[in-house]
């Protein structure tokens, strides 16, 4: 039975223990990670995984990321090639997801993999997420805790507003530090690493660790990482990119020291032009501007390097034509 009322609790040790029990028993729990809030369920329980797809109205062809308490647990589920070992050793726990071949007998629900022969794995670097995963004692699928295609949540309140009573419990651990989803990396059959989704770990750092360039996945209607679906991260208001001016009914999403004057409402991602600050503010400011009901959101240009690459990816998809 789906829950009837909003159940949001500060992430005290008692609440984390209760959340872990809920997950182990097939419930849905929203919890903080260093990137965004995730909507967690037992990855071994097909019915629980199906509830995630229903709560988010997520297309069944879009697979989920499996979250583990540590790298050892991840190695039990998938085949790690040399490059994957290198990246896991260097960046886990952290905002990196690796898409790898499922090991024979991998117990993760096939639905979580959307029928693919691969599984996406991540070890988050967040105290509450780690405690929850350890106590649940099972791998946990966790997409971002928003309706499919909508703005991602970086605060417990964003989850409450967007998913509310569709989840059994929301653990409130405050704002997330990084503010952008994990970077998703897959591998070609020859073992070469492919950037499937830019994210909170800059591609430049991954390339430095590997000593080689990442290739970038091509996009299509059923992309290899459907975070690459064209319209995604979308506010209610349309988004206008590379804005240098603001119209009267518009809201401004500014970046840097000299935003244009005017508009209905405004937020500055980082007055000093700092990309980490901009990433941490990004989704919360989009939520705030959208709540003002503007004709459109005018987004200023952001440098296309480091975290800026992931920010621009989110902005392009927020501005893409909606189906
Ligand atoms: O930071 C994050 O990654 C957050 C937090 C909660 O961990 N989770 C998240 O999940 O962003 P979600 O479901 O919003 O995005 C998962 C991305 C999608 O782009 C999906 O297509 C891709 O990972 N993905 C998952 N499994 C895959 C697979 N087997 N092959 C290719 N892409 C996969
Ligand atoms: Mg998402």
pLDDT in tens, 122-134: 999 999 999 999 9
pLDDT for res 230: 81
Measured in angstroms, how far is the CA atom of residue 300 from the centroid of ligand 1?
27
Residue 292 has pLDDT above 70, yes or no: yes
Q: For residue range 54-96, list pLDDT tens digits in order.
A: 999 999 999 999 999 999 999 999 999 999 999 999 999 999 9
Residue 223 has pLDDT above 60, yes or no: no
pLDDT for res 228: 55
Measured in angstroms, how far is the CA atom of residue 148 from the centroid of ligand 2?
7
Ligand 1 neighbour 182 (Cβ under 6 A): yes
Measured in angstroms, how far is the CA atom of residue 164 from the centroid of ligand 1?
22
Residue from 184, 223, 231 whose mutation best tests the ligand 1 pocket (most atoms within 8 A of CB)? 184
- pLDDT above 70 covers a percentage of the chain that reads 96
pLDDT for res 216: 87
Q: What is the pTM of this model?
A: 0.95
Ligand closest to Cα of 226 equals 1
Task: Please state, rounded to an integer, the average pLDDT across all residues of the chain.
Answer: 95
Ligand closest to Cα of 217 equals 1
**225: pLDDT confidence band, cut at 50, 70 and 90?**
low
Measured in angstroms, how far is the CA atom of residue 52 from the centroid of ligand 1?
13
Residue 139 has pLDDT above 90, yes or no: yes
**229: pLDDT confidence band, cut at 50, 70 and 90?**
low
Q: How far apart are CA 231 and CA 35, in angstroms?
A: 20
239-240/96-102 β-pairing: unpaired
Which of 148-157, 216-225, 239-248 shows the lowest per-residue confidence on average (mean pLDDT)?
Answer: 216-225
Ligand 1 neighbour 122 (Cβ under 6 A): yes
pLDDT for res 221: 47
Residue 4 has pLDDT above 80, yes or no: no
Report the DSSP beta bridge partners of residue 66: 121, 141
Residue 220 has pLDDT above 80, yes or no: no
């Amino acid at each position: 039975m789906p829950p009837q009322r909003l159940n949001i609790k500060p992430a005290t040790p008692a609440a984390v223990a209760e959340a872990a029990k809920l997950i182990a028993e097939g419930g849905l729990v929203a919890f903080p990670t260093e990137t965004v809030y995730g909507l967690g369920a037992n990855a071994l329980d097909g019915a629980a995984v199906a509830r995630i797809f229903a709560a988010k109205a997520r297309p069944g062809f879009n697979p989920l990321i499996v979250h583990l308490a540590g790298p050892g647990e991840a190695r039990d589920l998938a085949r790690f090639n040399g490059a994957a070992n290198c990246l896991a050793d260097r960046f886990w726990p952290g905002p990196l997801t690796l898409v790898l071949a499922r090991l024979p007998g991998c117990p993760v629900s096939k639905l979580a993999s959307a029928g693919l022969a691969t599984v996406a794995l991540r070890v988050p670097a967040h105290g509450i997420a780690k405690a929850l995963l350890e106590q649940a004692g099972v791998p946990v699928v966790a997409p971002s805790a928003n309706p499919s295609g909508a703005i991602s949540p970086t605060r417990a309140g964003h989850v409450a507003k967007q998913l509310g009573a569709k989840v059994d419990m929301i653990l409130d651990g405050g704002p997330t530090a990084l503010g952008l989803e994990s970077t998703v990396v897959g591998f070609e059959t020859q073992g070469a690493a492919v950037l499937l989704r830019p994210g909170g770990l800059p591609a430049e750092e991954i390339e430095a660790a590997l000593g080689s360039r990442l290739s970038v996945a091509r996009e299509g209607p059923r992309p290899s990482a459907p975070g690459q679906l064209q319209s995604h991260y979308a506010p209610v208001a349309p988004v206008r990119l590379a804005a240098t001016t603001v119209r009267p009914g518009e809201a401004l999403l500014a970046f840097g020291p000299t935003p244009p004057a005017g508009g209905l409402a405004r937020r500055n991602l980082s007055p000093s032009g700092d990309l980490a600050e901009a990433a941490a503010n990004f989704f919360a400011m989009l939520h705030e501007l959208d709540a003002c009901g503007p004709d459109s959101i005018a987004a200023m240009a952001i440098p296309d390097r480091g975290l800026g690459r992931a920010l621009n990816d989110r902005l392009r998809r927020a501005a893409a034509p909606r189906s």
